[in-house]
Amino acid sequence: MTTQTTTHEFKAETKKLLDIVINSLYTERDIFVRELISNASDALEKFRHESLTAGEVFDAHMPLEITIDLDEDKHLMTITDTGIGMSRSELEANLGTIAHSGSSSFMTGLAEAAKKDVSLIGQFGVGFYAAFMAAAKVRVQSRSWDGSEGHEWISDGTGSYTISELPGLHRGTRIIMELKDDAHDYAMKWKVESIIKQYSSFVPFPIKLAGETVNTVSALWTRNKNDITEQEYTDFYKFIGTSSDAPLYRLHFSADAPLAINALLFVPKENFEVMGFGRVDSGVNLYCQRILIDQHSENVLPEWLRFLKGVVDSEDLPLNISRQSLQDNALLAKLRKVITKRFLKFLDEQAQEDPEAYLTFWNTFGIYLKEGITSDYEFQKELGKLVRFESSRSEERKPIALSAYVERMKEGQEAIYYINGPSRQAIEAGPYVEMFTKKDIEILYTLEPIDDFVLSHLAEFDGKKLVSADRADLDLGAGSASEELKEAATPKAEQLEEGTKDVLLSWLKKTLADKVADVVVSKRLVEAPAMIVNPDGYMTSSMERIMAASRREKGQEQVGSKKNLEINTANPLIKKLAELQQIDESFAAEVAAQIYDNAMIQAGLVVDPLAMVERNYKILNRAAGCPLT
């Protein structure tokens, strides 16, 4: 019996493309292992689908699996599958024309309903040629599932290939690679096993390497969540997130429109960034039909959700010819939007169902959501529902949602008010909340420097503007504040006379001209003598502190804008200052400067400590009756 061997030349355009594939297309050499395993899985899936409707099939006894054999001495790597196999004509068509895809043609002929039953149909043409990145010669031995005689395809990837009959083959395809001199490590078990675990852990067929099944973890995201146990979820999280404990939250969902998506996302229990481990990489991997496309993907979720762990798989992704990158940025943006909105909706649902558990999440990962508000306008509305702050009506360490604040707003109140401070106690002891307390208006306490940036970027919630209490133009009620102030402070007879008041204001503006932009009578101070407010409606004191700290880190000159000083003309100290200004203007100037410094400190702003201490001693000496030196 003779076997017929024929030699074929690659087409000119195929030669050119082949050179690109071997030398330029793939950015990492390891990819060829992933591609060949993917193709083997495609062939197995295709056979499984065809065998469902066929009668008797050839080699029906053979298990559906992928086997990898290595020979370190001969520098050989062999990948075998028991899939649908190829006839002589299919070998020539699929491997002789680089842009041709038997699997793609097969998919075109499937009915729409049948497509959902085929979970992994890829392209067998292009990915196969990645083998030549590591192999000097490739032999493909294949026998079709129809039982026709087997054949062998051989090429060194330069210009031609041969096809000859090869009797005695089982159904499926065997790819034998004679490795290049600089690729001998691909005949080593540890090397190949590490590649499989990175890229092909979730292939739905067993991958056997040296007699052991390597891919032992199930692709949970492809299964119905009602059929998955808590232990399976936890084990999967430990595998995918390299963690030793259970996750804090889990979101498993599928979507058909606008994209076909299967996603399984986990929230860890710990925030490693705040623990000093540096900025973490994204923990979500992007798959296309169970094959890893982008590990630690920066494309599938916005950067401020980098703390998440898990998997996103979409069969709709338009992969480029190497399966390594995505061609349609608009589609990728749509994918990111769908998944992000779904996760934020999930967080909102969890916050409603179990507020205490959500506060645990917020205290651990709230900083990321704040980052999202300041950097990503697209999701501000959803993020606004998720932020939490303490308020004048909340328990200590029990922050509330903005929606809870809005529900309690007084009739006619048009804004949500907030004030920043280093602690709740410091805020409540300061001058900024006095009139809020008197008028029974709730005010949010922003205890982190970034919080004012967050709320200024958010700007509004549920149609209500977010307003900082240290704004100069703050209005807590037209015309009523000053009247309530007078009643709350001292009788009208004890107020400064208008003429005295005008003289004091004029003198303070002149005396503090190098420090303040303006001095005005406050409509909101009740007990405190004075307070600092920002004439700039956008820049709050806490925002200015952040900018000052940034300038210090960069060694830049500190440049602070002048503030407005509001004084309480019903306060005994201010009234005494008006008298002192008439009889001892020099000492009155020292007192005025100290009142300004005190107000600056209460606003959390920097003052010159040496000058303040020296001035303090002068005032104390005067109060104690010490002789002047």
Of 455, 246, 267, 453, the closest CA to residue 360 belongs to 267
Q: CB under 8 Å to 493, separation ≥6 — which residues? A: none
Per-residue confidence band for 559, with pLDDT thresholds at 50, 70 and 90: low
In contact, 532 and 605? CB cutoff 8 Å: yes
Of 414, 428, 507, the closest CA to residue 462 belongs to 414
pLDDT, mean of residues 391-415: 94
Q: Strand 207-209's sheet: what is its strand order?
A: 5-9, 160-165, 151-155, 135-143, 172-179, 76-81, 66-71, 207-209, 212-213
Torsion angle, CA of 195/63/148/109, rounded to 10 degrees? -70
Of 400, 494, 484, the closest CA to residue 434 belongs to 484
Per-residue confidence band for 13, with pLDDT thresholds at 50, 70 and 90: low
Which residue ranges form the domains of the chain, and what is each CATH number?
Answer: 5-213 (3.30.565.10), 220-363 (3.30.230.80)
Beta strands (DSSP E) in 392-526 are: 400-401, 415-420, 444-446, 460-461, 464-468, 516-521
- Looking at residue 99, its pLDDT comes to 43
- Looking at residue 485, its pLDDT comes to 42
Look at residue 628 and tell me whether its pLDDT is greater than 70.
Answer: no
Alpha helix (H) residue ranges in 316-433 = 329-353, 355-375, 380-384, 402-407, 424-429
* C-alpha span between 326 and 101 (Å, rounded): 19
- Looking at residue 538, its pLDDT comes to 61
Rounded mean pLDDT of the chain? 85
pLDDT in tens, 22-71: 666 556 788 899 989 989 998 999 999 888 887 788 888 899 999 999 99
DSSP 8-state assignment for residue 320: -
Per-residue confidence band for 165, with pLDDT thresholds at 50, 70 and 90: very high
In contact, 523 and 482? CB cutoff 8 Å: yes
pLDDT in tens, 463-480: 999 999 988 888 886 433
In contact, 390 and 396? CB cutoff 8 Å: yes
Ranking 304-318, 372-386, 478-492 by mean pLDDT, the lowest is: 478-492
Q: Which two tokens stand for residue 465?
A: 């503007």
* C-alpha span between 334 and 329 (Å, rounded): 9
Residue type, 253: F
Residue type, 54: A
pLDDT, mean of residues 438-446: 95
- Looking at residue 383, its pLDDT comes to 98
Look at residue 8 and tell me whether its pLDDT is greater than 50.
Answer: yes
pLDDT, mean of residues 224-232: 94
* C-alpha span between 62 and 123 (Å, rounded): 24
Look at residue 568 and tell me whether its pLDDT is greater than 90.
Answer: yes
pLDDT, mean of residues 304-327: 74
- Looking at residue 102, its pLDDT comes to 41
Q: Which two tokens stand for residue 335?
A: 């994918």
- Looking at residue 71, its pLDDT comes to 97
Ranking 191-195, 333-337, 527-531 by mean pLDDT, the lowest is: 333-337
* C-alpha span between 342 and 214 (Å, rounded): 33
The residue that leads in pLDDT, 422 or 537, is 422
The tally of CA atoms less than 13 A away on the side-chain side of residue 255 is 19
Look at residue 557 and tell me whether its pLDDT is greater than 60.
Answer: no
pLDDT in tens, 354-368: 999 999 999 999 999
Look at residue 489 and tell me whether its pLDDT is greater than 60.
Answer: no
Look at residue 561 and tell me whether its pLDDT is greater than 80.
Answer: no
Per-residue confidence band for 481, with pLDDT thresholds at 50, 70 and 90: very low
Per-residue confidence band for 458, with pLDDT thresholds at 50, 70 and 90: very high
Look at residue 83 and tell me whether its pLDDT is greater than 50.
Answer: yes
pLDDT, mean of residues 114-133: 52
Look at residue 115 and tell me whether its pLDDT is greater than 60.
Answer: no
- Looking at residue 577, its pLDDT comes to 96
Look at residue 273 and tell me whether its pLDDT is greater than 90.
Answer: no
Structural element, H or E, at residue 66 = strand 66-71
pLDDT in tens, 232-267: 999 999 999 888 899 999 999 999 877 889 999 999
Q: Is the pTM of this model over 0.85?
A: no
